[in-house]
Amino acid sequence: MLTNTSHLCSSTIIKKAIVALTGLVMIGFLVVHLLGNLQVFAGAGVTPETTKLNEYALLLKKEPVLLWGARLFLILTAILHVMTTITLTQHNRDARPQHYEVRHSYASYASQMMIFGGLAILFYIVYHILHFTTGTVHADYFTPHDVYQNMIRSFQDPTIVGVYVAAQIALFAHLYHGTVSVFRTLGMNNPRHIFWIKKAGILFALIICGGFISIPVCIYFGMVS
């Protein structure tokens, strides 16, 4: 019985570590992605080829093997993150028969928010790739190889700006709760530590999501054109 319980415990810890590690890889992508996209604030060059943001986008596509290697790695990381989260949630549900009593606890509320927020982010990523990478949705605003103009045209549209801002708010909640839960998994449950971890989590999520939100909002209000 004891062996069984400790086996379950260690498999849960491994799963939580996988969720945390894959989350960290995706955070790494987000930081690089944000820094790349912030180059929109450098403005338009004389030609599309000399526009800073386009130069950066072209650089990424110069080595197709590297590009597709990185894309594949990210896709596999995201799949592992989602699948492990699903098995962890199922395991947690099976482990507690008294659903009704725990339903309103903070942990249960946060974990439900992580699932719905995660799903919203997943839908957003699909929409986002169809928007800026393939030009399938909002095709009127899309010119291949002119990422700068694609952003400027798209973010004149208040509906698109609204979708992007809403997605970054979902990302904010996911990043914040994710950061706190990673540290809890690492065993940091001391209330004083948790207090500072929460502050750091909010600050980090604010920097990333605030940075992303600044792009559609500044373009919409004509600060970049």
Q: Give the angle 9-14-20 at the CA atoms, nearest 5°.
A: 125
> For the chain, how far is it from start to end, CA to CA, in angstroms?
66
Per-residue x/- track, 99-118, ligand HEM (CB under 6 A): --------------------
Does 71 bind ligand HEM (CB under 6 A)? Our answer is yes
Does 212 bind ligand HEM (CB under 6 A)? Our answer is yes
To ligand HEM, the closest distance from the beta carbon of 66 in angstroms equals 11
Closest to ligand HEM by CB, 160 vs 180, is: 160
Query: Which of 125, 126, 203, 223 is the binder for ligand HEM (CB under 6 A)?
Result: 125
Residues 163-192 touching ligand HEM, rule: CB under 6 A, are: 164, 171
Does 153 bind ligand HEM (CB under 6 A)? Our answer is no
Contact indicator for 132, 150 with CB cutoff of 8 Å: yes
Does 37 bind ligand HEM (CB under 6 A)? Our answer is yes
Query: Which of 33, 52, 184, 198 is the binder for ligand HEM (CB under 6 A)?
Result: 33
Integer-rounded Cα radius of gyration of the chain: 20
Q: Which stretch binds ligand HEM (CB under 6 A): 7-15, 88-96, 128-136, 178-186?
A: 128-136
Query: Which of 177, 215, 220, 224 is the binder for ligand HEM (CB under 6 A)?
Result: 215
45: alpha, beta or left, given left = phi > 0 and alpha = psi -120 to 50? Answer: beta
Q: Exposed, middle or buried, 181 (CB in 10 Å: 0-12/13-18/19+)?
A: buried
What whole-number distance in Å separates Cα of residue 154 and Cα of residue 80? 32
What whole-number distance in Å separates Cα of residue 197 and Cα of residue 66? 35
Count of residues near ligand HEM by CB under 6 A: 18
Contact indicator for 180, 194 with CB cutoff of 8 Å: yes
What whole-number distance in Å separates Cα of residue 184 and Cα of residue 120? 24
Residues of this chain that bind ligand HEM (CB under 6 A): 30, 33, 37, 57, 71, 121, 125, 128-129, 132-133, 147, 151, 164, 171, 212, 215-216
